[in-house]
Amino acid sequence: MMPSQTSDQLTQPQTDTLLQIENLQVHFPLMRGMLLQRRVGWIKAVDGLSFEIKRGETLALVGESGCGKSTTGRAILQLLRPTQGQVLFEQTELTNLTGESLRQMRRHMQMIFQDPYASLNPRMTIGDIVGEPLEIFDLATGAIKQAQVQQLLQTVGLSPEVVHRYPHEFSGGQRQRIVIARALAVRPDFIVCDEPIAALDVSVQAQVINLMQALQQQFGLTYLFIAHDLSVVRHISDRIAVMYLGKIVELGNRDALYNTPLHPYTQALLSAVPIPDPDLEATRQRIVLQGDLPSPTNPPQGCRFHTRCPVAIDRCRQEPEPLFKDAGGGHYVACHLVDDFR
């Protein structure tokens, strides 16, 4: 039997909110000089994020490469320590935790990385890879561990017979299943999925997404699903946060965001998503953004999207950054012109 999900879940009173992130910042020092290095600035990878993740939901975090979404995922799990801000997990502040208390809390939060080829030790057997977390956290040893490993492999659609084989004997999709089995071994509540299908063949992407959805149902998992475009997250997400240059610019329920995107950046990202209907696809108007993502060392003054925004006006350059506005129904957007878009 797969280990019971509920027996090891946290014992605090259960609320609707699993994670509360407040003003999260991750700034890296920018150093210069060959011998005597000195700090000449900051790379503002994550620059003040506030959002919550509800228990059992999938929140997608979407944006171009370099916008800070992977850094956000790592900072939530405390794999990178935030420069500022709060990360409350089941009402426990993670940024204050160290040592054994942080290690124990990490058991409840796992991460699945983009590249299943790089995230498995090529010298370990599949049985050792999936069983390692069970030993690290003293969850099972010996025959019980072996039985749990075999059960975990079956749960992700692999034969229990593969325990003696090595990662190089598997395809990309199978390796990602092994990575998922390893993450499930510690019976987590929350998983950060960092572009988990981006390195896979298109033919197996849907299989892995379907598996992740089935596991979410089966074990009551909560996902933060990171992706660089909106095409892959429609199927799996409940809500979507769109990130640009270290900030969330729009956040809303999936249908609201796809049907009535309010921020010009979201509109541009959506315009790149192919439409399955050939007639509609023929009429799709692509919004091509000019230029590259600006440097997070020195984000543009005013609205940080104004250098690429197709509808920017003087106000966007001159006034302080637009605040996050409630557009109703849990839909939030940071744009001076939001009323004009509705």
Q: What's the one-letter identity of residue 172?
A: G
| C-beta atoms surrounding 107 within 10 Å | 17
Which residue in the block uniquely carries the two structure tokens 């610019």? 249
- Options 113, 225, 305, 332; binder of ligand SF4; rule CB under 6 A: 305
3-state secondary structure of 206: helix
How far is C-alpha 196 from the chain's CA centre?
9
Q: Does residue number 24 form part of the binding site for ligand SF4 (CB under 6 A)?
A: no
CB 65 to ligand SF4: min, Å: 20
311 touches ligand SF4 by CB under 6 A: yes
Q: How far is the CB of 309 from ligand SF4 (least distance, A)?
A: 3
Name the one range near ligand SF4 by CB under 6 A: 60-68, 135-143, 291-299, 333-341: 333-341
Cβ at position 267, least distance to ligand SF4 in Å: 10
316 binds ligand SF4 (CB under 6 A): yes
User: What are the tokens at 31?
Assistant: 């150093």
Stretch in the footprint of ligand SF4 (CB under 6 A) among 124-132, 183-191, 283-291, 298-306: 298-306
Residue 73 or 302 having the CB closest to ligand SF4: 302
What DSSP character marks residue 297? T
Query: Which C-beta is closer to ligand SF4: that of 108 or that of 306?
Result: 306
Closest by Cα among 185, 140, 143, 145 to 5: 185
Residue closer to ligand SF4 by CB (options 201, 339) is 339
CA dihedral angle for residue 33, residue 37, residue 40, residue 43, rounded to 10 degrees: 110
Least distance in angstroms from the C-beta of 114 to ligand SF4: 28
By C-beta, is 93 or 292 nearer to ligand SF4?
292
Dist. CA 56–CA 297, nearest whole Å: 36
Nearer to ligand SF4, 188 or 322 (CB): 322
Distance CA 266, CA 62 (A): 9
CB nearer ligand SF4, residue 289 or residue 303:
303
- 109-112 and 92-93 strand pairing: unpaired
DSSP output for 35-49: SS-EEEEEEEEEEEE
Residue selected from 17, 146, 312, 324 as contacting ligand SF4 according to rule CB under 6 A: 312
Q: How far is the CB of 40 from ligand SF4 (least distance, A)?
A: 28
Q: Name which of 52 and 64 has its Cβ closer to ligand SF4.
A: 64
Using CB under 6 A as the binding rule, the residues of this chain from 227 to 266 that contact ligand SF4 are 263-264
> Among the candidate windows 79-87, 152-160, 222-230, 307-315, which touches ligand SF4 by CB under 6 A?
307-315
Nearer to ligand SF4, 181 or 316 (CB): 316
Count, residues near ligand SF4 per rule CB under 6 A: 13
Q: Which of 303, 327, 331, 332 binds ligand SF4 (CB under 6 A)?
A: 303
Instruction: Annotate 255-279 with b (16+ C-beta within 10 A) or e (fewer).
Output: ebbbeebbbbbbbbbbeeeeeeeee
The 3-state secondary structure of 261-294, one letter per residue: CCCHHHHHHHHCCCCCCHHHHHHCCCCCCCCCCC
CA 48: distance to chain centroid?
16
Helix (H) or strand (E) holding 110: strand 109-112
Binding residue (CB under 6 A) for ligand SF4 from 49, 209, 233, 335: 335
**256, two tokens:** 């609201």
Question: How many residues comprise the chain?
Answer: 342
Among 322, 327, 331, 332, binds ligand SF4 (CB under 6 A): 322
The residue ranges that bind ligand SF4 (CB under 6 A) are 263-264, 303, 305-306, 309, 311-312, 316, 322, 335-337
